[in-house]
Amino acid sequence: MGGWPSTPCIEKGCSFCCRSTEMPLSKSDVSRLVVITGLEPNSFSHVIDGVRILLNRSETKACVFLDTDSKDENAPGICSVYEHRPIGCQSYPLILNDEDEAFLDDLCPHREAFPEAPPALLLMLRQLDAEIQGQS
Contacts with ligand SF4, residue ranges (CB under 6 A): 7-9, 12, 14-18, 21, 23, 54, 63, 65-66, 79, 81, 85-86, 89, 92-93, 108, 110
Beta strand segments in the chain, E = 45-48, 51-54, 66-67, 78-79, 94-96, 102-104
User: CB of 16: closest distance to ligand SF4 in angstroms?
Assistant: 4
Three-state DSSP class for residue 27: helix
User: CB of 25: closest distance to ligand SF4 in angstroms?
Assistant: 9
d(CA 130, CA 82): 23
Residue nearer to ligand SF4 on the CB measure, 14 or 132: 14
User: CB of 24: closest distance to ligand SF4 in angstroms?
Assistant: 11
